[in-house]
Chain A
Amino acid sequence: MSKSTSPLGYRFPGGRYTIADWENWLLTDCTTAQALPENLAHPVSLFHVPILGAGTSIAELFEICGAEGPGSVGLDGYDWEYMHPLRVGVEYRMEGGIVRWENLVDERDQPYDSMSFSIEMFDGSELVARITNTWRFRRRKVVGA
């Protein structure tokens, strides 16, 4: 049923990311809020910063998981832990990979693959944040298979 092979265990290259002031300003504006004080980055930066900092991208994740176009990708959930607030101008180091992959069927009997990836974010050797995101890749049902 699934077009893609399991990417379970795939490790991202890892890397570093510094949140720029302009980037944080625009992102915070997108949330309809005012910029936070004291160089604090908006906590929702914990979506794109770990992904890009770990050396991957949404596009690459779609490709690895065999996304099939508009409507084929769904968002199931996030689990984000903040050990410290995120700050603009700090160089963070990221590492992580794909930690879960399951072939499932939804309530309408449509097949999908559920994928979770987890990334840890460090300032020096100190763990700053950890994310686990779960996405759904819907598959076309193969009739007669």
Chain B
Amino acid sequence: MSRIINVGDQLPEFVVPSVDPARMKTMAAILRDPYRVHWDREATREMGLDGRVINQGPLNLSYIVNMLHAFAGPTSIRRLTVSFARPVFDGDLVVAGGEVTEVQDSLLVCGVWLKRGDEIVVSGTAVVDVAALASVSS
């Protein structure tokens, strides 16, 4: 199936209705991450954060990755350059989104973000190869 892609196109959003603290625990084990703020509510109470644990940065980025995969396929990502502006907490509803900013043959440069409400918590740029999707225009 061919698809025409233009600068300014919005990428379909990827929604995480409620960030799950149990997944943070599993992720901490996989990453061998000793930072207590991801799995120990007492650590975030000490920080004045009301005991809500903080999602790992890679998980915040993963929602953007999943959004890109749904749009362009599982081998499409060539580069991710992101900054982390705000922490994401358990129970947050976050939405990953993006917009095409440049088209170079089959490569798209996209502005990408993760939002909590109107607040941008992660933002950056992704380069994705959409060769498998066929038609691309600028």
Contacts and interface: CB of A to CB of B under 8 A. Distances in A.
A75 B124 CA distance: 14
Interface of B: 16, 20, 23-24, 26-27, 30-37, 43-44, 46-47, 57-59, 61-63, 65-66, 69, 74-75, 77-84, 124
Q: SS class of chain A's interface: helix, strand, loop or mixed? A: mixed
Interface stretch (A29-37, A104-112, A116-124): A29-37
16 contacts: A26-B26, A30-B23, A30-B62, A31-B65, A33-B62, A42-B62, A43-B77, A44-B59, A44-B61, A48-B31, A48-B58, A57-B32, A58-B35, A78-B61, A80-B79, A82-B77
Contacts of B31: 47-48, 58
A88 interface: no
A31 B44 CA distance: 22
Interface residues of A, number: 34
Interface in A11-36: 23, 26-27, 29-33, 36
